Amino acid sequence: MSSIPIELTPLDRVRAATPELEWGLLDDTIEAIQRLKVERNAIVLAHNYMTPDIFHGVADHQGDSLGLARLAAESTADVIVFAGVHFMAETAKILCPDKTVLIPDLEAGCSLAESITAADVRQLRERHPGVPVVTYVNTSAAVKAETDICCTSSNAVAVVESLGVDKVIFLPDRYLGSYVATQTDVEIVLWDGSCEVHERFTGDELRQYRAETPGIEIIAHPECPPDVLDEADFVGSTAGMIGYVTEHRPSKVVMVTECSMSDNVAAELPDVDFIRPCNLCPHMKRITLTNIRTALEKMRYEVHVATDVADRARVAVERMLAISGTR
Ligand code: 13P
Ligand code: SF4
């Protein structure tokens, strides 16, 4: 038997994660999307939580929030189809006001983005005069427009420390904010938002996995509660988690995050055993191969951000992208 590793094509990776009965329909839809992308001079940007048919089958680029924002800004395509949630598509539109940005389902939201409004940020500023506001990108454009600088889960500590102050307001994820507070001496004023997917994991459940599966590595997203992060061997953004598993090749691993992450990486790393206590993000799962095809056929749903809001929000996003090591 040969020991030479066989390079998998994108279609092989999709098929590896799909029942054989569905392959015919899948192949047709993927082919239609690839043709439409050429006709429209479009690209598909896919977040790491997309299902394998999207992630491996039709995405031109995959990544975390930071990586996708950067790719949107650099793209020469006329049309960006955002396979992710609404705040991500809005960030792409803020950075690329002249491009057409489409999201296949307008209801693809986020519990963090829902947890805070622009008026809330103005009130916080009144309560903490002179304290800069650092805003996680999981927020609406209107909230970004009220803030000094944005961050993502992969650069939050660097962004907070870049300001050279001893106190910041950090919005809206209380768990990401608490995690940042453990990594810096800067005092963090928190907001009470949380991710409905990551807040459901518990430290107890992870301790049970450790007891049941000796040698297991636990890697977690910083939107998880502190007792979960205390149990983790590595904490990082979705791209950071994929990078860790790809580099370290643990024999058994649990990715404490959204379910599609393990599905996507497992297709590429057959030597790693993914143990799966995972939670589905109902918002991310609104994006399907079928509605991506419809988005390109009907050029819907176009994401709009009012010019004055986009101009102010862009300052906060570009400040983040300009910080050394984050761009
Ligand atoms: P990442 O930036 O780590 O991909 O996180 C985005 C997100 O929504 C995680 O729930
Ligand atoms: Fe928002 Fe959580 Fe879904 Fe990410 S996983 S999009 S933070 S609800």
- For 252, the enclosing helix (H) or strand (E) is strand 252-256
Pair (292, 265) in one structural domain? no
Number of domains in the chain: 3
**Pairing state between β 61-63 and 133-136:** unpaired
Q: What is the pLDDT of residue 134?
A: 98
In the reported structure, the alpha carbon of residue 72 is separated from the centroid of ligand 1 by a whole-number distance in angstroms of 16
Which atom of ligand 2 lies closest to the CA of 84?
6
Q: What is the pLDDT along the chain (327 residues), one digit of tens a residue?
A: 334 445 677 787 888 777 787 777 888 999 999 999 999 999 999 999 999 999 999 999 999 998 998 899 999 999 999 999 999 999 999 999 999 999 999 999 999 999 999 999 999 999 999 999 999 999 999 999 999 999 999 999 999 999 999 999 999 999 999 999 999 999 999 999 999 999 999 999 999 999 999 999 999 999 999 999 999 999 999 999 999 999 999 999 999 999 999 999 987 898 999 997 789 999 999 999 999 999 999 999 999 999 999 999 999 999 999 985 543
Ligand 1 binding pocket includes 88 (Cβ within 6 Å): no
Pair (58, 145) in one structural domain? no
Pair (142, 164) in one structural domain? yes
Q: Which residues are CB-contacts of 1 (< 8 A; sequence separation ≥ 6)?
A: none
Q: What are phi and psi of 82, to 5 degrees?
A: -95, 110
CATH code of the domain containing 138: 3.40.50.10800
Pair (221, 248) in one structural domain? yes
Q: What is the pLDDT of residue 5?
A: 46
Quote the tokens at residue 299.
Answer: 């050029």
Pair (202, 188) in one structural domain? no
Tally of CA atoms within 13 A in the half-sphere of 294 that contains its CB? 10
**pTM for the model:** 0.93
Partners of 256 in the β-ladder: 220
Ligand 1 binding pocket includes 237 (Cβ within 6 Å): yes
- 77 within some domain: yes
- 325 within some domain: no
Pair (70, 83) in one structural domain? yes
Q: What is the pLDDT of residue 324?
A: 56
Ligand 2 binding pocket includes 59 (Cβ within 6 Å): no
Partners of 187 in the β-ladder: 167
- 326 within some domain: no
CB atoms near residue 18 (< 10 Å):
16
Residue 148 and residue 133 in contact, taking contact as beta carbons nearer than 8 Å: yes
Pair (212, 124) in one structural domain? no
How big is the chain, counted in residues? Answer: 327
Sheet holding 79-83, edge to edge: 61-63, 42-47, 79-83, 100-102
- 74 within some domain: yes
- 69 within some domain: yes
- 317 within some domain: no
Pair (17, 91) in one structural domain? yes
- 123 within some domain: yes
Range of the domain at 262: 198-275
Pair (85, 14) in one structural domain? yes
Q: Which residue among 66, 223, 278 is best mutated to probe the pocket of ligand 1, counting the most ligand atoms within 8 A of its Cβ?
A: 223
- 214 within some domain: yes
Q: What is the pLDDT of residue 15?
A: 83
Pair (14, 98) in one structural domain? yes
Q: Which of 159, 194, 229 is the last residue of a domain?
A: 194
- CA 164, 222, 176, 212 torsion: positive or negative? negative
Measured CA distances, 147 to 94, 106, 134, 192 (Å): 14, 24, 6, 17
Pair (182, 214) in one structural domain? no
